[in-house]
Amino acid sequence: MTQAEIKLCSLLLQEHFGEIVEKIGVHLIRTGSQPLRVIAHDTGTSLDQVKKALCVLIQHNLVIYQVHKRGVVEYEAQCSRVLRMLRYPRYIYTAKTLYSDTGELIVEELLLNGKMTMSAVVKKVADRLTETMEDGKTMDYAEVSNTFVRLADTHFVQRCPWVPATENSDPGPPPPAPILVISEKDMYLVPKLSLIGKGKRRRSSDEDAAGEPKAKRPKYGTDNKEPIPDDGIYWQANLDRFHQHFRDQAIVSAVANRMDQFTFQTQTSSEVVRTMLRMSEITTPSTDPFTQPLSSNEIFRSLPVGYNISKQVLDQYLTLLADDPLEFVGKSGDSGGGMYVINLHKALGSLATATLESVVQERFGSRCARIFRLVLQKKHLEQKQVEDFAMIPAKEAKDMLYKMLSGNFISLQEIPKTPDHAPSRTFYLYTVNILSAARMLLHRCYKSIANLIERRQFETKENKRLLEKSQRVEAIIASMQATGAEEVQLQEIEEMITAPERQQLETLKRNVNKLDASEIQVDETIFLLESYIESTMKRQ
């Protein structure tokens, strides 16, 4: 765990949950697993506050607990899961793209609340959608429920582990902490619920004013509450499935950039790869280096409706993809018109390498990028060979190699002829260790994101008074519009914010939008590098 990661986790926890949760979370990240009383003692926080902070962290899957042999319960922070909070906007946008506004709000509610029952999610989402609809229109629970089932079928949401039912005859004392279990076949099993109803709008201020005060209203039906049909069955967003989708999209985009620009029929190669990945979504675990073998006939039948290419043309494209030097697609057999797989590990390696090349080019220039690609292609080169192959003068080549060496983009390997490692009798070979360079770049990306978040917070803090004034004016205008105020009155309220203040607000908004966009772009790089490193470590 590097200092950059700890700092980023601290910023994310504070931004989402506040100071106390951030204090407990960062303490657990730094120290590892610890029992409750030790956490309270070391952080100087009251036991009650520590319990509440741990409840929040456990609810959002940021902390896990385990019972030791002596019955002591220890809590351990999940740093990698904390860093996933960076990707929340991307998860929500993906759900919106695939399953429209309903899917977006379902995933948003699950991410905001950590874990929820299906019935609670459906009712909350239906109410939120009804609020945005025109008067007289409402969102049916059944429609939201259908979208939830589709998300579960495609594994974007999954059940949380639960406490198994125990027989009452067991006289022993209860365990110090519950043991949660779930079987793989139940993970995406949606309970059969008959949710009948429609979303409700919040009562307007007029209706509240016309009726009785809230405190004096009688509470109807509080004694005879109906039992919740899916009580105890909680759901959460399956982040690994979203990551699988992001990886697939990156592979399809890479194939489109490489292959489809040379073909007359646009997007055909990428559409073939997209179809293969879509067929393997559920059957291939996200950690596997290859997809399941798919026959040419199966791929042809699964192409999108209306995609008019013949079987012969498809076979030509599959052969073209299999013969490509990048080896994204490989041929694994000849049955069924030819069996094809997608080499996910090779694809991630190519994407990570392209990212490193891009960073070298932006940071050191095109000539350094030429040397970097040359060393990458030839594996090991002496300085004289680099000068000759790259056709760059010796002095400039030496300077460029030193820059990349000091930046840890390339490394130097010594091969001595004699045991004494005398410089005159030693070969010095330049090489690129992609895994090491990817780790170095990932560390820098974490530092960049932390800097972006701090800058955004500074910009907001510096203009806090102006933002509060703007919010007050907007609230006054909204309430006056609701009561039917005249245009002249509204204009007078708007003039409370002067022209320089309005310009300052526009500049702030533009700067914050730039910082937000930069965070998302850096996170895309983080995702590619993390995926490559994880895939490489599993193969070793």
Quote the pLDDT of residue 223. Answer: 43
Quote the pLDDT of residue 464. Answer: 85
Tokens read off for 523? 């996170």
Return the percentage of the chain with pLDDT > 90, whole number.
29
Q: Where in the chain is the domain with CATH 1.10.10.10?
A: 3-77, 83-164+181-199+231-237, 240-342, 347-432
User: Which DSSP letter does residue 431 get?
Assistant: E
CA separation for the pair 444, 453 (Å, rounded):
14
Strand order in the sheet with 294-295: 294-295, 339-342, 329-333
Q: What digits encode the pLDDT tens for the residues 29-75?
A: 999 888 889 999 998 989 999 999 999 999 999 999 888 877 788 89
Tokens read off for 283? 């059957």
- What is the pLDDT confidence band of residue 10, given thresholds at 50, 70 and 90? very high
Burial (CB count within 10 angstroms: exposed 0-12, middle 13-18, buried 19+), residue 425: exposed
Neighbours of 17 (CB within 10 A): 18
3-state secondary structure of 290: strand
Quote the pLDDT of residue 426. Answer: 81
Neighbours of 447 (CB within 10 A): 16
For residue 525, which of 410, 374, 358, 361 has the smallest C-alpha distance? 358
Tokens read off for 213? 């005060």
Task: Select from 1.10.10.10, 3.40.50.720, 2.40.37.10, 1.10.3720.10 the CATH code of 83-164+181-199+231-237.
Answer: 1.10.10.10
Tokens read off for 61? 């899957």
Tokens read off for 391? 């056709």
Tokens read off for 399? 């300077």
Quote the pLDDT of residue 260. Answer: 64
Q: How many separate helices (H) and strands (E) can be counted in the chain?
A: 21, 11
- Which class does domain 347-432 fall in? mainly alpha
Tokens read off for 453? 């978040």
Sign of the C-alpha dihedral, residues 63, 67, 71, 76?
A: negative
Average pLDDT, integer, range 119-129: 89
Query: How far, in Å, are 464, 487, 504 from residue 499 at the CA level?
Result: 18, 19, 9
Q: What digits encode the pLDDT tens for the residues 516-529?
A: 999 999 999 999 99
Quickly list H helices, 414-498. 434-462, 464-482, 487-494
- What is the pLDDT confidence band of residue 338, given thresholds at 50, 70 and 90? confident
Asked if 340 and 294 touch (Cβ cutoff 8 Å), the reply is yes
| Cα atoms in the 13 Å half-sphere on the side-chain side of 215 | 0
In the chain, how long is the greatest CA-to-CA distance? 96
User: Which DSSP letter does residue 35 get?
Assistant: E
Neighbours of 384 (CB within 10 A): 10
Average pLDDT, integer, range 120-127: 89
Looking up tokens 């690609």 gives: 373
β-bridge pairing 234-237 and 426-431: unpaired
CA separation for the pair 53, 304 (Å, rounded):
49
Quote the pLDDT of residue 218. Answer: 41
Burial (CB count within 10 angstroms: exposed 0-12, middle 13-18, buried 19+), residue 421: exposed
User: Which CATH architecture is the domain 3-77 placed in?
Assistant: Orthogonal Bundle (1.10)
Which residue spans within 168-232 are E strands per DSSP? none
User: Which DSSP letter does residue 180 get?
Assistant: P
Strand order in the sheet with 73-77: 34-35, 73-77, 63-67
3-state secondary structure of 414: strand
Tokens read off for 47? 């036991």
CA separation for the pair 363, 9 (Å, rounded):
27
Sign of the C-alpha dihedral, residues 482, 486, 492, 498?
A: positive
Asked if 25 and 9 touch (Cβ cutoff 8 Å), the reply is yes
pTM of the predicted protein model: 0.85
Asked if 161 and 58 touch (Cβ cutoff 8 Å), the reply is no
Which residue spans within 141-246 are E strands per DSSP? 157-159, 234-237
- What is the pLDDT confidence band of residue 227, given thresholds at 50, 70 and 90? low
Q: Which H or E element spans position 78?
A: none
Asked if 363 and 309 touch (Cβ cutoff 8 Å), the reply is no
Q: Which H or E element spans position 320?
A: helix 311-323
CA angle 43, 177, 240 (to 5 degrees): 80
Quickly list H helices, 73-140. 79-83, 88-113, 118-132
Given a cut of 90, is residue 200 above it in pLDDT? no
Given a cut of 50, is residue 213 above it in pLDDT? no
pLDDT averaged over the chain? 84
Q: Lowest mean pLDDT: which of 204-208, 354-358, 451-455, 517-521? A: 204-208
* Pairwise pLDDT comparison (165 vs 370), residue with the higher score: 370
Quote the pLDDT of residue 262. Answer: 56
CA separation for the pair 57, 68 (Å, rounded):
20
Please give the single-letter amino acid code of residue 116: M
Sign of the C-alpha dihedral, residues 227, 233, 234, 238?
A: negative
The full DSSP string for 324-358 is: STT-SEEEEE-GGG-EEEEBHHHHHHHHHHHHHHH
Return the percentage of the chain with pLDDT > 70, whole number.
91
- Which class does domain 240-342 fall in? mainly alpha
Asked if 448 and 522 touch (Cβ cutoff 8 Å), the reply is yes
